[in-house]
Amino acid sequence: MIKNGIRKKVIIYLIVFASVIVLLTSILTGLRYWHIKVAEYNDLVYDYLHTASELIDGEKVKEYIQTETPDEYYDNILNYLTVTRDNTAMQLFYVFVPYEDDLVYIWQTDGDPYSWLGKHEKYMDGGKETRDVTFNKNPEEKITFYNDPTYGDIACGFYPVYDNSGEPVALIGLDLSAPGIRNNIIAFIATIALIIFLGTLIAAKLYYSSLSKNIVGPIHHLNDAAKRITSNLERDETPDLNIHTGDELEELSSSFMKMYNDIRQYIKENEAMSAEKGRLEAELNVATQIQADMLPSVFPLFPEHKEFDLYASMDPAKEVGGDFFDSFFIDATHLALIIADVAGKGIPASLFMARALTAFKTRAMQGGSPSQIVSDVNNYMCERNDECLFVTVWFAIIDTTTWKGSATNAGHEYPILRRAGGAYELIKYEHSMPVGIMEDSIFEEHTFELHPGDSLFVYTDGVAEATGTNDELFGTDRLINSLNEDPEAKPENTLKNVISGINHFVAGAEQFDDITMLCIKYNGVKN
């Protein structure tokens, strides 16, 4: 009866102790995680607000207040706000002029955007207080949570737009879903609580088992323990060696227990390492899929355009890579092509790649020449680049009415061109500096023209620098030979020919760099 009473007390004490630990740890972790996540969202929101503030001309804002008439500049800013909203987790991106009793919209990305120009609206509860701390030369950079009947439960950030004299003339607003932020935190707290609960439960079970041991006989237990140590290492079962004889047998039992615990500890650490490796591999697989989803994957990209064929591929050296490519129409007649290579590999390069790809696509949709677009993206990528990462880029825009194009090569590989009926040849010209190294760098631009039957091939250095078993590089000569094995091939088969040439050359050697290629062939057939 006494033993059963002690066992029940131990169980109750362990349950109470575990509950207190889980509750306190969850609360403290939740508070800490809340501050960390809010700070992360705050930094993200104000990155976008700063960028938008730099793009918007305060003098034009004053003009729109007077005329309420949109123009080309108005459309460019609206396009930037809309594209940024669509490519991020934000709900709304807008610009308004704050007054004492209400506000007047200039840009709004909800519904019919042009209907918002000059529209008056009352402040949300607390909106005036937010206006007072942000509509000045030294604005407070802090997201605010609102629960508004019109817009719902949201987290908002605001930042001024300044005129030429440095005076604020408008506020840029950005809305995020507050429930989404809270749900993220709740899920994290629940996971931590479950882990702590399970860990405490296991510890309690082991402790309870250790208190329940019964000594049958020192010799019997030593003999039985010796057998278990060699036969039950994979089972979480502690040998019954609770011997207190005060002689050599007690010392021997202690030695047995120490040896057993050391082996079990090694097994547990090995299992923990295996579990952690599995978790990391699962996360890398998700990251790989996310990165792949950022790049075009369904070809042909533009099935309605029969006048050209285009195909591209990216094969990362690790689970995630730093190379990227894309092709998109800036407008109805201007086709953009981009291929790039971030310095380095793995997760850091992939994060820098995601930032660069978004920046290029967002900036390109605002118009301009390749050199202007690359220059603006370069200045943006130089900001907050403490890791000193950079990216080599080949960026071109082709007018599909004439098939004349212009391109900027920022430290990237030379393109390879094939004229109709001829062979692929390397096109050499002066490079510009890679993107992300120095602000306000000058980027050169060169022109080209495609004729019916011409093909253009661009690639990253992982192609030419593919390394064989004898440390010899694949090189541009072998690359061109692979292209000329079937110079009339469609772009998809052209890339397959190059991959086949690389695989034959490396003969199973480990891939050290991302391999990315893009090929476009002008057929000369009208839509």
Residues 456, 56: Cα–Cα separation, whole Å = 37
What's the pLDDT tens digit per position in 119-155?
A: 999 988 888 888 888 999 889 888 888 887 877 888 8
In tens, the pLDDT along 81-108 reads 999 988 887 888 999 999 988 999 999 9
Average pLDDT over residues 458-487: 92
CA distance 378 to 293: 24
* 49 or 223, greater pLDDT: 49
pLDDT digits (tens, 9 = 90+) for 165-194: 999 999 999 888 878 777 777 877 778 777
- Identify any residues that bridge with 424 across adjacent strands, giving them in sequence order: 418
Query: Could you report the per-residue pLDDT of 422-431, keeping only the tens digit for each?
Result: 999 999 988 9
Give the mean model confidence (pLDDT) for residues 402-419. Answer: 96
What letter does residue 509 receive in the DSSP assignment?
Answer: P
Q: What is the pLDDT of residue 3?
A: 45
Q: What's the pLDDT score for residue 180? A: 73
pLDDT number for residue 484: 96
Listing DSSP states for 339-361 in one string gives: EEEESS-HHHHHHHHHHHHHHHH
Instruction: Calculate mean pLDDT across residues 484-497.
Output: 95
- Sorting pLDDT into bands at 50, 70 and 90, what band is 393? very high
Segment 233-241 shows an average pLDDT of: 61
**Residues 411-449 pLDDT 10s:** 999 999 999 999 999 999 889 999 999 999 999 999 999
Query: What's the whole-number mean pLDDT along residues 57-70?
Result: 92
Cis ω before 70 (30° cut-off from 0): no
Q: What is the pLDDT of residue 349?
A: 83
Cis peptide preceding 348, ω within 30 of 0: no
Q: Quick check: 488 pLDDT over 60?
A: yes
Per-residue pLDDT band at 507 (split at 50, 70, 90)? confident
Residue 221 has pLDDT above 80, yes or no: no
Quick one: tokens of 367? Answer: 């118009």
309 and 490 in contact (C-beta within 8 Å)?
yes
Phi, psi of 229 (to 5 degrees): -60, -35
CB 522 within 8 A of CB 454: yes
282-301 pLDDT, tens digit per residue, is 555 555 556 657 788 888 89
Examine the pLDDT at 1 and tell me if it is beyond 60.
no
Output the pLDDT for position 214.
43
Structure tokens at 69: 């008439």
Topology (CATH) of 295-522:
Phosphatase 2c; domain 1 (3.60.40)
238 — pLDDT class (breaks 50, 70, 90): low
- Residue 115, pLDDT > 70, answer yes
Q: In what order do the strands lie in the sheet with 455-459?
A: 308-315, 515-522, 455-459, 416-418, 424-426
Q: What's the CATH number for 27-181?
A: 3.30.450.20
Q: Is the pLDDT of residue 199 over 50?
A: yes
Distance, CA of 496 to CA of 498 (rounded, Å) = 5
Q: What is the mean pLDDT of the chain?
A: 84
Name the maximum alpha-carbon separation found in the chain.
Answer: 100
Indicate the pLDDT class of residue 25, thresholds 50, 70 and 90. Answer: confident
- Residue 387: which pLDDT band, with cuts at 50, 70 and 90? confident
Average pLDDT over residues 398-410: 96
pTM, two decimal places: 0.50
Q: Where are the domains of the chain?
A: 27-181, 233-294, 295-522
457: confidence class by pLDDT, cuts 50, 70, 90? very high
Q: What is the pLDDT of residue 292?
A: 59
Residue 267 has pLDDT above 50, yes or no: yes
Q: Please give the span between the terminal C-alpha atoms of the chain, in angstroms, as a whole number.
A: 92
